[in-house]
Amino acid sequence: MTVRILRAAGRTAAPWKNGGGVTREIAAAPDGAGMDTFAWRVSLADVGADGPFSVFPGVTRVLTVADGAGMELTPGGVPLRADERFVPHRFAGDVATHGRLLDGPVVNFNVMYREALTEALTSVVRGRLTVGVPPDATVLAVVLDGTAVLEDSGAALGRFDAAMVTGESPGVLRADGRTALVTLRSRPRTGPGSS
């Protein structure tokens, strides 16, 4: 088992792909991957104004409002209202999407992944639970509200801190607020040369 603690204070802000806002990457794979080459990427985005989302060919997005009143999105022209905190919303990242703020700025927790390369599941939990880590998977726990503790290791996480786990289960997570759990696993390769 490997547990890496990723502190919010150590993240740097970077402009969105389309320049319309600011994002802070929590983790991505493979390490050092750019916006056009990641298999998966998890980040927090500050949204202060209405505007278009960046388009990512072949990418599925999961947006969870972590702070603020939420947004109304139009992925591919279809209305999607994200007006409740801590509820994940899945939509295609390769279609034109416009975002409209409902009542002031928001902070969004974003999971982006290429379905051809990665299986991903995002949930938001609260309370005390054992964190399961499937074989060959990475589990990312990100505190969206309050604090959390990995009881077996004693690792304490503040708001927007994360723990990235591979291998065996890190044991029990105790979250006094809402914590996002993202399970990411590479898809088996198919086609010529695969076994």
pLDDT digits (tens, 9 = 90+) for 56-95: 999 999 999 999 999 999 999 999 999 999 999 999 999 9
Does the fold of domain 118-186 match that of domain 11-114? yes
For the whole model, what pTM was predicted?
A: 0.92
- Is residue 97 within 8 Å of residue 110, measured between CB atoms? no
Confidence band, pLDDT 50/70/90 cuts, at residue 116 = very high
Q: What's the CATH code, domain 118-186?
A: 2.60.120.1030
How far apart CA 151 and CA 157 sit, in angstroms, is 11
pLDDT digits (tens, 9 = 90+) for 124-171: 999 999 999 998 999 999 999 999 999 988 899 999 999 999 998 889
- Is residue 150 within 8 Å of residue 179, measured between CB atoms? no
How far apart CA 186 and CA 117 sit, in angstroms, is 6
- Is residue 27 within 8 Å of residue 161, measured between CB atoms? no
Query: Which one is the CATH code of 11-114: 2.130.10.10, 3.30.2350.10, 3.40.50.620, 2.60.120.10?
Result: 2.60.120.10
Q: 16-20, 95-99, 168-172: which has the minimum mean pLDDT?
A: 16-20
How far apart CA 164 and CA 26 sit, in angstroms, is 10
For range 89-109, the mean pLDDT = 96
Q: Is the pLDDT of residue 187 over 90?
A: no
Distance, CA of 72 to chain centre: 19
User: Hey, where are the domains in the chain?
Assistant: 11-114, 118-186
- Is residue 184 within 8 Å of residue 138, measured between CB atoms? yes
